[in-house]
Structure 1
Amino acid sequence: MRLQGKVALITGSGSGIGRAAAALFAREGASVIVNDVDETTGQQTVEQIAALGGQAAFIQADVTQPDAVELLVKRAIERFGRIDVLFNNAGISGVGAIHEIELDAWDRVMNVNIRGVYLTSKSVLPHMMEQRSGSIINMSSCIAEIGLARRASYSASKGAVLALTKSMQVDYAKYGIRVNALLPGTIMTPFVENYLRSSYDDPEAAIASLKSRQLSGDLGTPEDVAQAALFLASDESKFMMGSPLYMDGGVTFGKNA
Protein backbone atom coordinates (compact mmCIF):
# COMPACT_ATOMS: atom_id res chain seq x y z
CA MET A 1 0.00 0.00 0.00
CA ARG A 2 2.60 2.51 -1.16
CA LEU A 3 0.03 5.29 -1.69
CA GLN A 4 -2.13 4.62 1.34
CA GLY A 5 -4.14 7.71 2.26
CA LYS A 6 -3.09 9.72 -0.80
CA VAL A 7 -5.36 11.28 -3.42
CA ALA A 8 -4.16 11.14 -7.02
CA LEU A 9 -5.47 13.01 -10.05
CA ILE A 10 -4.53 11.38 -13.36
CA THR A 11 -5.38 13.18 -16.58
CA GLY A 12 -6.05 11.15 -19.70
CA SER A 13 -6.75 8.04 -17.65
CA GLY A 14 -9.53 6.64 -19.80
CA SER A 15 -7.14 4.27 -21.56
CA GLY A 16 -3.53 3.24 -22.08
CA ILE A 17 -0.88 4.40 -19.62
CA GLY A 18 -3.34 6.57 -17.69
CA ARG A 19 -5.73 3.69 -17.10
CA ALA A 20 -2.90 1.36 -16.05
CA ALA A 21 -1.61 3.98 -13.62
CA ALA A 22 -5.07 4.63 -12.20
CA ALA A 23 -5.59 0.93 -11.52
CA LEU A 24 -2.14 0.51 -9.98
CA PHE A 25 -2.42 3.61 -7.81
CA ALA A 26 -5.79 2.40 -6.52
CA ARG A 27 -4.36 -1.04 -5.73
CA GLU A 28 -1.62 0.70 -3.77
CA GLY A 29 -4.16 2.51 -1.58
CA ALA A 30 -4.77 5.82 -3.35
CA SER A 31 -8.12 7.42 -3.97
CA VAL A 32 -7.98 8.12 -7.70
CA ILE A 33 -9.59 10.93 -9.65
CA VAL A 34 -9.94 9.59 -13.18
CA ASN A 35 -10.01 12.33 -15.79
CA ASP A 36 -10.51 12.08 -19.52
CA VAL A 37 -12.23 14.02 -22.27
CA ASP A 38 -14.10 10.80 -23.12
CA GLU A 39 -16.71 10.04 -20.46
CA THR A 40 -17.31 6.47 -21.64
CA THR A 41 -13.70 5.33 -21.33
CA GLY A 42 -13.21 7.28 -18.11
CA GLN A 43 -16.18 5.59 -16.48
CA GLN A 44 -14.85 2.22 -17.65
CA THR A 45 -11.61 2.90 -15.77
CA VAL A 46 -13.58 3.71 -12.62
CA GLU A 47 -15.62 0.52 -13.00
CA GLN A 48 -12.45 -1.55 -13.34
CA ILE A 49 -11.02 0.00 -10.18
CA ALA A 50 -14.28 -0.53 -8.27
CA ALA A 51 -14.35 -4.18 -9.34
CA LEU A 52 -10.93 -4.60 -7.73
CA GLY A 53 -12.11 -2.96 -4.50
CA GLY A 54 -10.40 0.38 -5.11
CA GLN A 55 -11.76 3.89 -4.72
CA ALA A 56 -12.09 6.15 -7.76
CA ALA A 57 -14.29 8.85 -9.23
CA PHE A 58 -14.51 10.11 -12.79
CA ILE A 59 -14.52 13.82 -13.61
CA GLN A 60 -14.79 14.73 -17.27
CA ALA A 61 -12.75 17.67 -18.51
CA ASP A 62 -10.78 18.82 -21.54
CA VAL A 63 -7.37 19.79 -20.15
CA THR A 64 -6.97 22.50 -22.81
CA GLN A 65 -9.95 24.48 -21.47
CA PRO A 66 -9.26 26.72 -18.43
CA ASP A 67 -12.81 26.73 -17.05
CA ALA A 68 -13.11 22.96 -17.39
CA VAL A 69 -9.80 22.38 -15.61
CA GLU A 70 -10.69 24.73 -12.76
CA LEU A 71 -13.98 22.90 -12.29
CA LEU A 72 -12.18 19.53 -12.43
CA VAL A 73 -9.87 20.51 -9.58
CA LYS A 74 -12.66 22.18 -7.60
CA ARG A 75 -14.80 19.03 -7.78
CA ALA A 76 -11.83 16.83 -6.90
CA ILE A 77 -11.09 18.89 -3.78
CA GLU A 78 -14.76 18.91 -2.80
CA ARG A 79 -14.92 15.12 -3.15
CA PHE A 80 -11.61 14.10 -1.54
CA GLY A 81 -10.40 17.16 0.37
CA ARG A 82 -6.91 17.27 -1.12
CA ILE A 83 -4.69 16.26 -4.04
CA ASP A 84 -1.38 14.62 -3.16
CA VAL A 85 -0.37 13.41 -6.61
CA LEU A 86 -0.94 15.00 -10.00
CA PHE A 87 -0.03 12.86 -13.00
CA ASN A 88 -0.17 15.05 -16.10
CA ASN A 89 -0.58 12.14 -18.47
CA ALA A 90 -3.03 13.46 -21.08
CA GLY A 91 -1.38 13.84 -24.46
CA ILE A 92 -1.65 13.24 -28.18
CA SER A 93 0.82 12.41 -30.91
CA GLY A 94 1.66 14.32 -34.05
CA VAL A 95 3.18 13.10 -37.31
CA GLY A 96 5.07 15.09 -39.92
CA ALA A 97 8.18 17.13 -40.62
CA ILE A 98 7.88 20.88 -40.13
CA HIS A 99 7.02 21.62 -43.78
CA GLU A 100 4.27 18.99 -43.72
CA ILE A 101 2.41 20.05 -40.58
CA GLU A 102 -0.61 22.32 -40.89
CA LEU A 103 -0.94 25.07 -38.30
CA ASP A 104 -4.09 23.66 -36.69
CA ALA A 105 -2.43 20.25 -36.27
CA TRP A 106 0.65 21.88 -34.69
CA ASP A 107 -1.51 23.93 -32.33
CA ARG A 108 -3.56 20.89 -31.31
CA VAL A 109 -0.45 18.98 -30.20
CA MET A 110 0.89 21.99 -28.31
CA ASN A 111 -2.45 22.70 -26.68
CA VAL A 112 -2.93 19.20 -25.30
CA ASN A 113 0.68 18.35 -24.49
CA ILE A 114 1.85 21.70 -23.10
CA ARG A 115 -1.16 23.85 -22.35
CA GLY A 116 -2.81 20.87 -20.64
CA VAL A 117 0.14 20.43 -18.28
CA TYR A 118 0.23 24.17 -17.58
CA LEU A 119 -3.50 24.56 -16.89
CA THR A 120 -3.86 21.49 -14.68
CA SER A 121 -0.71 22.26 -12.70
CA LYS A 122 -1.78 25.90 -12.31
CA SER A 123 -5.06 24.81 -10.73
CA VAL A 124 -3.62 22.08 -8.51
CA LEU A 125 -0.50 23.85 -7.26
CA PRO A 126 -2.20 26.34 -4.88
CA HIS A 127 -3.72 23.39 -2.98
CA MET A 128 -0.38 21.58 -2.79
CA MET A 129 1.32 24.81 -1.71
CA GLU A 130 -1.21 25.22 1.10
CA GLN A 131 -0.72 21.66 2.33
CA ARG A 132 3.06 22.01 1.72
CA SER A 133 3.39 18.67 0.03
CA GLY A 134 2.73 16.95 -3.26
CA SER A 135 4.18 15.03 -6.17
CA ILE A 136 3.66 16.16 -9.77
CA ILE A 137 4.53 13.78 -12.58
CA ASN A 138 4.73 15.24 -16.07
CA MET A 139 4.56 12.95 -19.08
CA SER A 140 7.45 13.75 -21.38
CA SER A 141 9.01 11.21 -23.77
CA CYS A 142 12.41 9.87 -24.73
CA ILE A 143 11.85 11.78 -27.97
CA ALA A 144 12.72 14.89 -25.95
CA GLU A 145 16.30 13.58 -25.99
CA ILE A 146 16.63 11.93 -29.40
CA GLY A 147 15.82 12.75 -33.01
CA LEU A 148 13.05 10.83 -34.73
CA ALA A 149 11.87 11.35 -38.28
CA ARG A 150 8.58 13.17 -38.88
CA ARG A 151 7.76 13.83 -35.24
CA ALA A 152 8.46 17.56 -35.12
CA SER A 153 5.41 18.75 -33.19
CA TYR A 154 5.44 15.84 -30.76
CA SER A 155 9.16 16.12 -29.99
CA ALA A 156 8.88 19.89 -29.53
CA SER A 157 6.00 19.47 -27.09
CA LYS A 158 7.70 16.75 -25.07
CA GLY A 159 10.97 18.67 -24.93
CA ALA A 160 9.01 21.61 -23.57
CA VAL A 161 7.42 19.38 -20.91
CA LEU A 162 10.86 18.26 -19.75
CA ALA A 163 12.14 21.85 -19.55
CA LEU A 164 8.97 22.94 -17.76
CA THR A 165 9.41 20.15 -15.22
CA LYS A 166 12.85 21.40 -14.23
CA SER A 167 11.66 25.00 -13.94
CA MET A 168 8.63 24.00 -11.88
CA GLN A 169 10.82 22.09 -9.46
CA VAL A 170 12.92 25.18 -8.71
CA ASP A 171 9.82 27.26 -8.06
CA TYR A 172 7.96 24.81 -5.83
CA ALA A 173 10.64 22.89 -3.90
CA LYS A 174 10.25 25.30 -0.98
CA TYR A 175 6.64 24.16 -0.60
CA GLY A 176 7.59 20.49 -0.26
CA ILE A 177 6.39 19.74 -3.79
CA ARG A 178 8.35 17.41 -6.04
CA VAL A 179 8.08 17.66 -9.83
CA ASN A 180 9.53 14.93 -12.04
CA ALA A 181 9.13 13.76 -15.62
CA LEU A 182 8.53 10.36 -17.17
CA LEU A 183 10.26 9.67 -20.48
CA PRO A 184 8.83 6.50 -22.03
CA GLY A 185 9.89 4.98 -25.31
CA THR A 186 7.44 3.31 -27.65
CA ILE A 187 4.68 1.82 -25.53
CA MET A 188 2.12 -0.54 -27.03
CA THR A 189 -0.98 1.35 -25.98
CA PRO A 190 -4.30 0.94 -27.81
CA PHE A 191 -3.61 4.28 -29.52
CA VAL A 192 -0.20 3.16 -30.83
CA GLU A 193 -1.53 -0.22 -31.92
CA ASN A 194 -4.44 1.36 -33.79
CA TYR A 195 -2.11 3.89 -35.41
CA LEU A 196 0.26 1.19 -36.62
CA ARG A 197 -2.51 -1.00 -37.97
CA SER A 198 -4.23 1.86 -39.78
CA SER A 199 -1.13 3.62 -41.14
CA TYR A 200 1.00 0.77 -42.51
CA ASP A 201 0.34 -1.78 -45.22
CA ASP A 202 2.24 -4.33 -43.13
CA PRO A 203 1.61 -3.51 -39.45
CA GLU A 204 3.55 -6.52 -38.21
CA ALA A 205 6.64 -5.38 -40.11
CA ALA A 206 6.22 -1.91 -38.63
CA ILE A 207 6.01 -3.37 -35.12
CA ALA A 208 9.09 -5.53 -35.78
CA SER A 209 10.99 -2.44 -36.95
CA LEU A 210 10.06 -0.57 -33.77
CA LYS A 211 11.17 -3.49 -31.62
CA SER A 212 14.53 -3.59 -33.41
CA ARG A 213 15.29 -0.06 -32.14
CA GLN A 214 14.99 -1.22 -28.53
CA LEU A 215 17.92 -2.79 -26.71
CA SER A 216 15.24 -4.79 -24.91
CA GLY A 217 14.08 -6.23 -28.23
CA ASP A 218 10.49 -5.51 -27.31
CA LEU A 219 8.06 -2.66 -26.79
CA GLY A 220 6.95 -1.42 -23.42
CA THR A 221 3.51 -1.90 -21.90
CA PRO A 222 1.29 0.63 -20.14
CA GLU A 223 1.93 -1.31 -16.93
CA ASP A 224 5.70 -0.75 -17.30
CA VAL A 225 5.18 3.01 -17.32
CA ALA A 226 2.59 2.81 -14.53
CA GLN A 227 5.16 1.18 -12.25
CA ALA A 228 7.56 4.07 -12.87
CA ALA A 229 4.77 6.57 -12.19
CA LEU A 230 3.99 4.77 -8.93
CA PHE A 231 7.59 5.18 -7.81
CA LEU A 232 7.47 8.93 -8.53
CA ALA A 233 4.10 9.27 -6.81
CA SER A 234 5.25 7.46 -3.68
CA ASP A 235 7.48 8.66 -0.87
CA GLU A 236 10.12 6.20 -2.10
CA SER A 237 11.22 8.86 -4.62
CA LYS A 238 11.41 11.65 -2.03
CA PHE A 239 14.97 12.55 -3.10
CA MET A 240 14.09 12.84 -6.80
CA MET A 241 13.45 16.43 -7.77
CA GLY A 242 13.25 17.86 -11.28
CA SER A 243 14.48 14.57 -12.68
CA PRO A 244 13.75 12.69 -15.92
CA LEU A 245 12.98 9.01 -15.41
CA TYR A 246 13.58 6.96 -18.56
CA MET A 247 11.38 3.97 -19.34
CA ASP A 248 12.38 3.34 -22.94
CA GLY A 249 13.89 -0.12 -23.36
CA GLY A 250 17.32 1.39 -23.99
CA VAL A 251 16.44 3.64 -26.96
CA THR A 252 17.89 6.87 -25.59
CA PHE A 253 21.32 5.80 -24.45
CA GLY A 254 21.91 2.56 -26.30
CA LYS A 255 22.39 1.44 -29.86
CA ASN A 256 22.25 -2.05 -31.26
CA ALA A 257 25.36 -3.03 -33.25
Structure 2
Amino acid sequence: MRLANKVILITGSGSGIGRSTALLFAREGATVIVNDLDEAKGIETLKDIHADGGKGHFIHADVTHAESVEQMVDQIIEQYGHIDVLFNNAGISGVGALHEVEPDAWERVIQVNIRGVYLPSKYVLPHMMKRKSGNIINMSSCVAEIGLARRASYSATKGAVLALTKSMQVDYAAYNIRVNALLPGTILTPFVENYLKTSYDNPATAIASIKKRQLSEELGLPEDVAQAALFLASDESKFMMGSPLYIDGGATFGKNA
Protein backbone atom coordinates (compact mmCIF):
# COMPACT_ATOMS: atom_id res chain seq x y z
CA MET A 1 0.00 0.00 0.00
CA ARG A 2 2.49 2.57 -1.21
CA LEU A 3 -0.12 5.33 -1.41
CA ALA A 4 -2.14 4.58 1.72
CA ASN A 5 -4.32 7.49 2.90
CA LYS A 6 -3.29 9.76 0.03
CA VAL A 7 -5.88 11.78 -1.88
CA ILE A 8 -4.84 11.95 -5.52
CA LEU A 9 -6.38 13.90 -8.39
CA ILE A 10 -5.71 12.50 -11.87
CA THR A 11 -6.92 14.58 -14.81
CA GLY A 12 -7.88 12.80 -18.00
CA SER A 13 -8.29 9.48 -16.20
CA GLY A 14 -11.20 8.12 -18.22
CA SER A 15 -8.96 6.12 -20.55
CA GLY A 16 -5.40 5.23 -21.52
CA ILE A 17 -2.55 6.11 -19.18
CA GLY A 18 -4.82 8.05 -16.83
CA ARG A 19 -7.18 5.14 -16.39
CA SER A 20 -4.39 2.61 -15.80
CA THR A 21 -2.81 4.96 -13.28
CA ALA A 22 -6.09 5.52 -11.46
CA LEU A 23 -6.64 1.78 -11.07
CA LEU A 24 -3.07 1.20 -9.90
CA PHE A 25 -3.12 4.07 -7.42
CA ALA A 26 -6.39 2.83 -5.93
CA ARG A 27 -4.93 -0.66 -5.51
CA GLU A 28 -2.02 0.97 -3.67
CA GLY A 29 -4.37 2.53 -1.12
CA ALA A 30 -5.06 6.00 -2.51
CA THR A 31 -8.41 7.70 -2.70
CA VAL A 32 -8.43 8.56 -6.41
CA ILE A 33 -10.30 11.55 -7.78
CA VAL A 34 -11.09 10.58 -11.35
CA ASN A 35 -11.48 13.54 -13.70
CA ASP A 36 -12.36 13.48 -17.36
CA LEU A 37 -14.24 15.57 -19.90
CA ASP A 38 -15.91 12.37 -21.09
CA GLU A 39 -18.28 11.60 -18.22
CA ALA A 40 -19.11 8.09 -19.38
CA LYS A 41 -15.46 7.06 -19.53
CA GLY A 42 -14.70 8.68 -16.19
CA ILE A 43 -17.57 6.86 -14.49
CA GLU A 44 -16.40 3.60 -16.08
CA THR A 45 -12.97 4.09 -14.50
CA LEU A 46 -14.58 4.79 -11.14
CA LYS A 47 -16.75 1.66 -11.39
CA ASP A 48 -13.65 -0.43 -12.04
CA ILE A 49 -11.93 1.13 -9.02
CA HIS A 50 -14.88 0.25 -6.81
CA ALA A 51 -15.17 -3.25 -8.30
CA ASP A 52 -11.52 -3.80 -7.37
CA GLY A 53 -12.20 -2.74 -3.79
CA GLY A 54 -10.65 0.70 -4.14
CA LYS A 55 -11.77 4.16 -3.10
CA GLY A 56 -12.53 6.94 -5.54
CA HIS A 57 -14.75 9.74 -6.71
CA PHE A 58 -15.55 11.10 -10.16
CA ILE A 59 -15.72 14.81 -10.97
CA HIS A 60 -16.62 16.05 -14.42
CA ALA A 61 -14.54 19.14 -15.22
CA ASP A 62 -12.85 20.76 -18.20
CA VAL A 63 -9.17 21.40 -17.44
CA THR A 64 -9.11 24.30 -19.92
CA HIS A 65 -11.83 26.27 -18.08
CA ALA A 66 -10.77 28.13 -14.94
CA GLU A 67 -14.16 28.13 -13.23
CA SER A 68 -14.65 24.41 -13.87
CA VAL A 69 -11.23 23.54 -12.42
CA GLU A 70 -11.64 25.82 -9.42
CA GLN A 71 -14.99 24.23 -8.59
CA MET A 72 -13.49 20.76 -8.89
CA VAL A 73 -10.64 21.59 -6.52
CA ASP A 74 -13.02 23.27 -4.04
CA GLN A 75 -15.22 20.17 -4.08
CA ILE A 76 -12.27 17.89 -3.34
CA ILE A 77 -11.04 20.08 -0.49
CA GLU A 78 -14.52 20.32 0.99
CA GLN A 79 -15.01 16.55 0.88
CA TYR A 80 -11.51 15.28 1.69
CA GLY A 81 -9.73 18.24 3.26
CA HIS A 82 -6.57 18.07 1.17
CA ILE A 83 -4.94 16.88 -2.06
CA ASP A 84 -1.68 15.00 -1.61
CA VAL A 85 -0.85 14.38 -5.27
CA LEU A 86 -1.91 16.09 -8.48
CA PHE A 87 -1.24 14.16 -11.68
CA ASN A 88 -1.68 16.51 -14.65
CA ASN A 89 -2.29 13.77 -17.18
CA ALA A 90 -4.98 15.21 -19.47
CA GLY A 91 -3.73 15.90 -22.97
CA ILE A 92 -4.35 15.53 -26.68
CA SER A 93 -2.14 14.94 -29.69
CA GLY A 94 -1.59 17.10 -32.73
CA VAL A 95 -0.36 15.99 -36.13
CA GLY A 96 1.30 18.06 -38.84
CA ALA A 97 4.36 20.11 -39.66
CA LEU A 98 4.00 23.69 -38.50
CA HIS A 99 2.83 25.07 -41.87
CA GLU A 100 0.18 22.35 -42.09
CA VAL A 101 -1.46 23.06 -38.73
CA GLU A 102 -4.51 25.32 -38.82
CA PRO A 103 -4.69 28.04 -36.14
CA ASP A 104 -7.74 26.54 -34.42
CA ALA A 105 -6.09 23.12 -34.21
CA TRP A 106 -2.89 24.69 -32.86
CA GLU A 107 -4.80 26.60 -30.19
CA ARG A 108 -6.71 23.49 -29.09
CA VAL A 109 -3.51 21.54 -28.45
CA ILE A 110 -2.01 24.51 -26.60
CA GLN A 111 -5.15 24.91 -24.49
CA VAL A 112 -5.41 21.30 -23.38
CA ASN A 113 -1.73 20.43 -23.01
CA ILE A 114 -0.43 23.63 -21.39
CA ARG A 115 -3.45 25.41 -19.92
CA GLY A 116 -4.63 21.97 -18.75
CA VAL A 117 -1.50 21.77 -16.59
CA TYR A 118 -1.55 25.42 -15.53
CA LEU A 119 -5.12 25.57 -14.21
CA PRO A 120 -5.23 22.46 -12.01
CA SER A 121 -1.82 23.38 -10.61
CA LYS A 122 -2.90 26.97 -9.99
CA TYR A 123 -5.88 25.96 -7.88
CA VAL A 124 -4.30 22.99 -6.09
CA LEU A 125 -1.01 24.67 -5.17
CA PRO A 126 -2.36 27.14 -2.57
CA HIS A 127 -3.77 24.21 -0.58
CA MET A 128 -0.47 22.34 -0.79
CA MET A 129 1.43 25.49 0.18
CA LYS A 130 -0.79 25.96 3.22
CA ARG A 131 -0.05 22.40 4.38
CA LYS A 132 3.61 22.65 3.30
CA SER A 133 3.25 19.29 1.63
CA GLY A 134 2.46 18.17 -1.89
CA ASN A 135 3.46 16.32 -5.00
CA ILE A 136 2.73 17.26 -8.61
CA ILE A 137 3.37 15.03 -11.62
CA ASN A 138 3.18 16.62 -15.07
CA MET A 139 2.76 14.62 -18.26
CA SER A 140 5.37 15.63 -20.80
CA SER A 141 6.73 13.37 -23.55
CA CYS A 142 10.02 12.21 -24.97
CA VAL A 143 9.29 14.52 -27.92
CA ALA A 144 10.24 17.35 -25.56
CA GLU A 145 13.81 16.09 -26.01
CA ILE A 146 13.90 14.75 -29.58
CA GLY A 147 12.64 15.79 -32.99
CA LEU A 148 9.70 13.86 -34.40
CA ALA A 149 8.27 14.49 -37.85
CA ARG A 150 4.92 16.26 -38.14
CA ARG A 151 4.35 16.79 -34.43
CA ALA A 152 4.91 20.55 -34.22
CA SER A 153 2.06 21.52 -31.90
CA TYR A 154 2.40 18.45 -29.69
CA SER A 155 6.18 18.85 -29.37
CA ALA A 156 5.82 22.55 -28.53
CA THR A 157 3.39 21.83 -25.71
CA LYS A 158 5.32 18.94 -24.21
CA GLY A 159 8.54 20.95 -24.27
CA ALA A 160 6.67 23.72 -22.47
CA VAL A 161 5.41 21.30 -19.83
CA LEU A 162 8.94 20.05 -19.15
CA ALA A 163 10.26 23.61 -18.79
CA LEU A 164 7.29 24.53 -16.59
CA THR A 165 7.98 21.54 -14.36
CA LYS A 166 11.51 22.76 -13.65
CA SER A 167 10.34 26.30 -13.01
CA MET A 168 7.57 25.13 -10.67
CA GLN A 169 10.02 23.07 -8.67
CA VAL A 170 12.19 26.11 -7.99
CA ASP A 171 9.18 28.17 -6.91
CA TYR A 172 7.61 25.59 -4.60
CA ALA A 173 10.52 23.64 -3.12
CA ALA A 174 10.40 25.87 -0.04
CA TYR A 175 6.86 24.61 0.61
CA ASN A 176 7.96 20.96 0.59
CA ILE A 177 6.22 20.43 -2.76
CA ARG A 178 7.85 18.19 -5.33
CA VAL A 179 7.21 18.62 -9.07
CA ASN A 180 8.40 16.05 -11.60
CA ALA A 181 7.56 15.09 -15.18
CA LEU A 182 6.88 11.85 -17.01
CA LEU A 183 8.32 11.54 -20.54
CA PRO A 184 6.76 8.52 -22.25
CA GLY A 185 7.57 7.26 -25.71
CA THR A 186 4.85 5.90 -27.98
CA ILE A 187 2.32 4.16 -25.77
CA LEU A 188 -0.36 1.87 -27.18
CA THR A 189 -3.41 3.63 -25.79
CA PRO A 190 -6.94 3.53 -27.29
CA PHE A 191 -6.24 7.01 -28.70
CA VAL A 192 -3.11 5.81 -30.52
CA GLU A 193 -4.87 2.69 -31.79
CA ASN A 194 -7.71 4.78 -33.19
CA TYR A 195 -5.26 7.26 -34.73
CA LEU A 196 -3.42 4.45 -36.50
CA LYS A 197 -6.63 2.92 -37.81
CA THR A 198 -7.98 6.20 -39.16
CA SER A 199 -4.75 7.75 -40.45
CA TYR A 200 -3.04 4.86 -42.22
CA ASP A 201 -4.17 2.49 -44.95
CA ASN A 202 -2.15 -0.24 -43.28
CA PRO A 203 -2.07 0.20 -39.47
CA ALA A 204 0.17 -2.85 -39.02
CA THR A 205 2.85 -1.28 -41.22
CA ALA A 206 2.52 1.97 -39.28
CA ILE A 207 2.99 0.18 -35.97
CA ALA A 208 6.08 -1.60 -37.29
CA SER A 209 7.53 1.75 -38.35
CA ILE A 210 6.77 3.36 -34.99
CA LYS A 211 8.38 0.48 -33.10
CA LYS A 212 11.67 1.23 -34.86
CA ARG A 213 11.84 4.60 -33.08
CA GLN A 214 12.46 2.81 -29.79
CA LEU A 215 15.45 0.65 -28.88
CA SER A 216 13.06 -1.85 -27.34
CA GLU A 217 11.40 -2.22 -30.76
CA GLU A 218 8.13 -2.42 -28.88
CA LEU A 219 5.39 0.04 -28.04
CA GLY A 220 4.88 0.87 -24.40
CA LEU A 221 1.69 0.01 -22.54
CA PRO A 222 -0.33 2.34 -20.30
CA GLU A 223 0.65 0.15 -17.36
CA ASP A 224 4.33 0.92 -18.01
CA VAL A 225 3.71 4.62 -17.49
CA ALA A 226 1.38 3.98 -14.55
CA GLN A 227 4.18 2.16 -12.72
CA ALA A 228 6.49 5.14 -13.26
CA ALA A 229 3.76 7.50 -12.03
CA LEU A 230 3.38 5.33 -8.93
CA PHE A 231 7.06 5.76 -8.15
CA LEU A 232 6.79 9.55 -8.47
CA ALA A 233 3.59 9.66 -6.41
CA SER A 234 5.07 7.59 -3.61
CA ASP A 235 7.55 8.63 -0.94
CA GLU A 236 10.12 6.38 -2.62
CA SER A 237 10.94 9.24 -4.99
CA LYS A 238 11.29 11.85 -2.23
CA PHE A 239 14.73 12.93 -3.49
CA MET A 240 13.51 13.59 -7.04
CA MET A 241 12.75 17.24 -7.68
CA GLY A 242 12.18 18.92 -11.04
CA SER A 243 13.24 15.76 -12.82
CA PRO A 244 12.18 14.17 -16.12
CA LEU A 245 11.49 10.44 -15.90
CA TYR A 246 11.77 8.65 -19.25
CA ILE A 247 9.53 5.69 -20.09
CA ASP A 248 10.28 5.56 -23.78
CA GLY A 249 11.87 2.21 -24.63
CA GLY A 250 15.13 4.01 -25.43
CA ALA A 251 13.72 6.47 -27.97
CA THR A 252 15.41 9.51 -26.44
CA PHE A 253 18.97 8.40 -25.91
CA GLY A 254 19.67 5.79 -28.51
CA LYS A 255 18.93 4.50 -31.96
CA ASN A 256 19.43 1.10 -33.44
CA ALA A 257 22.07 0.96 -36.20
TM-score in same-fold range (> 0.5): yes
What is the CA–CA distance in structure 1 between the aligned matches of 2:174 and 2:149, rounded to whole Å? 40
Question: Could you say which residue in structure 2 is the equivalent of 1:120?
Answer: 120
Q: Post-superposition, which runs of at least 4 consecutive aligned residues in structure 1 deviate over 4 A?
A: none
Question: Could you say which residue in structure 1 is the equivalent of 2:79?
Answer: 79
Q: Name the amino acid aligned to 2:173.
A: A
Question: Could you say which residue in structure 2 is the equivalent of 1:225?
Answer: 225
Question: Could you say which residue in structure 2 is the equivalent of 1:157?
Answer: 157
Question: Could you say which residue in structure 1 is the equivalent of 2:43?
Answer: 43
What is the CA–CA distance in structure 1 between the aligned matches of 2:197 and 2:242, rounded to whole Å? 36
Instruction: Output one character per residue of 1:102-129: Cα deviation in whole Å (capped at 9) or x when no partner.
Output: 1110000000000010000000000100
Instruction: Output one character per residue of 1:225-246: Cα deviation in whole Å (capped at 9) or x when no partner.
Output: 0000000000000000000000
Q: Report the 3-state secondary structure (helix = DSSP H, G, I; strand = E; otherwise coil) of the residue aligned with 1:57.
A: strand
Q: Name the amino acid aligned to 1:46.
A: L
What is the CA–CA distance in structure 2 between the aligned matches of 1:75 and 1:190, rounded to whole Å? 30
What is the CA–CA distance in structure 2 between the aligned matches of 1:226 and 1:195, rounded to whole Å? 21
CA shift at 1:191, angstroms?
Answer: 0.2
Q: Name the amino acid aligned to 2:151.
A: R
What is the CA–CA distance in structure 2 between the aligned matches of 1:172 and 1:13, rounded to whole Å? 25
Question: Could you say which residue in structure 1 is the equivalent of 2:249?
Answer: 249
Instruction: Output one character per residue of 1:15-50: Cα deviation in whole Å (capped at 9) or x when no partner.
Output: 000000000000000000000001000000000000
CA shift at 1:145, angstroms?
Answer: 0.3
Question: Could you say which residue in structure 1 is the equivalent of 2:210?
Answer: 210
Q: Name the amino acid aligned to 2:77.
A: I
Q: Which runs of 5+ in 1 are unaligned?
A: none
Q: Report the 3-state secondary structure (helix = DSSP H, G, I; strand = E; otherwise coil) of the residue aligned with 1:91.
A: coil
Q: Name the amino acid aligned to 1:255.
A: K
TM-score, structure 2 normalization: 0.99
What is the CA–CA distance in structure 1 between the aligned matches of 2:42 and 2:78, rounded to whole Å? 19
What is the CA–CA distance in structure 1 between the aligned matches of 2:34 and 2:150, rounded to whole Å? 32
CA shift at 1:217, angstroms?
Answer: 1.4
Instruction: Output one character per residue of 1:143-195: Cα deviation in whole Å (capped at 9) or x when no partner.
Output: 00000111000000000000000000000000000000000000000000000
The yes-or-no answer on 1:200 pairing with 2:200 is yes
Instruction: Output one character per residue of 1:189-221: Cα deviation in whole Å (capped at 9) or x when no partner.
Output: 000000001110000000011112211110000
Question: Could you say which residue in structure 1 is the equivalent of 2:188?
Answer: 188
What is the CA–CA distance in structure 1 between the aligned matches of 2:202 and 2:116, rounded to whole Å? 34
Q: Report the 3-state secondary structure (helix = DSSP H, G, I; strand = E; otherwise coil) of the residue aligned with 1:83.
A: coil
What is the CA–CA distance in structure 2 between the aligned matches of 1:213 and 1:127, rounded to whole Å? 41
Q: Report the 3-state secondary structure (helix = DSSP H, G, I; strand = E; otherwise coil) of the residue aligned with 1:77.
A: helix
**Pairwise mapping of residues 60-71 of structure 1 onto structure 2 (< 5 A)?**
60-71=60-71
Q: How many residues align?
A: 257
TM-score, structure 1 normalization: 0.99
Q: Report the 3-state secondary structure (helix = DSSP H, G, I; strand = E; otherwise coil) of the residue aligned with 2:8.
A: strand
What is the CA–CA distance in structure 1 between the aligned matches of 2:212 and 2:153, rounded to whole Å? 24
TM-align CA RMSD: 0.5
CA shift at 1:94, angstroms?
Answer: 0.3
Question: Could you say which residue in structure 1 is the equivalent of 2:173?
Answer: 173
Q: Name the amino acid aligned to 1:90.
A: A
What is the CA–CA distance in structure 2 between the aligned matches of 1:216 and 1:81, rounded to whole Å? 43
Q: Report the 3-state secondary structure (helix = DSSP H, G, I; strand = E; otherwise coil) of the residue aligned with 1:59.
A: strand
Q: Report the 3-state secondary structure (helix = DSSP H, G, I; strand = E; otherwise coil) of the residue aligned with 2:179.
A: strand
CA shift at 1:133, angstroms?
Answer: 0.7
The yes-or-no answer on 1:139 pairing with 2:164 is no
